[in-house]
Chains A and B, each alone.
Chain A
């Protein structure tokens, strides 16, 4: 029986995130005020039989631990 999970991958705090910066600059240009600390990451959705192996999947492939943090969410 597999369960659906979401893996959220985001740039580590303090790492240059030009995508987040670009979005942060674009929103006020469209009239959306009061937006700060925008970061752009990646969402990986997957059905897994053995959720205990998810951290290993993240470390080895889904994220690059040197530059990205990941968060595993059951959905």
Chain B
């Protein structure tokens, strides 16, 4: 299978994302000014500071030409994974519920966090067991997930929360410890921590690889077949 990893001006984690994807398949970088998704089987919107985070994080990137194609692709059921800034962009684009607010500490935090898999068996977590703990690094200033009460209730009722911060690990103040959330259809998923930075034993954990393996397994079983 082939992943497409977006690159906006200011993106900085696309190379790690590409390397992570290449552990389970092929990957190409897709430039923000293009519209062609080159027939990829899944899109990754990586971390960084797209368009300098001007105005609000993710607010400008959502209007990039490539994002029009990503929105269309997502509405047609295509697999889209948003990491950190990518999560923020997907929320701004209306593909994912909620918004990311500044960390309650107002500080940039870079640390390893433990996440709990709330739902296994999804396109993004089928390589994980429910309740499994994943150790994945997080590094952001604006990662406090928030949704108004009615929306939050709906997200929980639909089982859209796939990952939560483990007890005591919610350093950014996210509502209900939400670390990663998907859309109603389950084909778009975003999380603040960086699974692409946890794919090699050299950096302490390979737990992040499970998300990429999940996507590969899903695509291999359902799409490519």
Query: Would you call A16 and B101 a contact (CB within 8 A)?
Result: yes
Task: Closest B residue to A61 by CB, please name it.
Answer: B59
Query: Would you call A64 and B173 a contact (CB within 8 A)?
Result: no
Instruction: Give the complex CA separation of A16 and B151 in angstroms.
Output: 17
Instruction: Give the complex CA separation of A11 and B92 in angstroms.
Output: 16
Interface of A is mostly: mixed
Task: Closest A residue to B94 by CB, please name it.
Answer: A66
Query: Would you call B99 and A18 a contact (CB within 8 A)?
Result: no
Number of B residues near A (Cβ < 8 Å) is 19
Q: Which residues of B contact A64 (CB under 8 A)?
A: 56, 59, 92, 99
Instruction: Give the complex CA separation of A16 and B147 in angstroms.
Output: 12
Q: Which residues of B contact A62 (CB under 8 A)?
A: 55
The size bracket of the interface on A is 10 to 19
Interface of B is mostly: loop
Instruction: Give the complex CA separation of A67 and B88 in angstroms.
Output: 13
Instruction: Give the complex CA separation of A66 and B102 in angstroms.
Output: 14
Given contacts A64-B99, A67-B146, contact A18 B59 (CB under 8 A): no
Flag whether B79 is at the interface (Cβ < 8 A).
Answer: no
Query: Would you call B173 and A16 a contact (CB within 8 A)?
Result: yes
Flag whether B98 is at the interface (Cβ < 8 A).
Answer: yes
Flag whether B104 is at the interface (Cβ < 8 A).
Answer: yes
Query: Would you call A15 and B146 a contact (CB within 8 A)?
Result: yes
Query: Would you call A66 and B106 a contact (CB within 8 A)?
Result: no
Query: Would you call A66 and B144 a contact (CB within 8 A)?
Result: no
Per-position contact with A for B95-114: 1 when CB-CB < 8 Å, else 0?
A: 00011011111100000000
Chain B residues with a Cβ under 8 A of chain A: 55-56, 59, 63, 92, 98-99, 101-106, 144, 146-148, 151, 173
Chain A residues with a Cβ under 8 A of chain B: 15-16, 18-19, 22, 42, 61-62, 64, 66-67
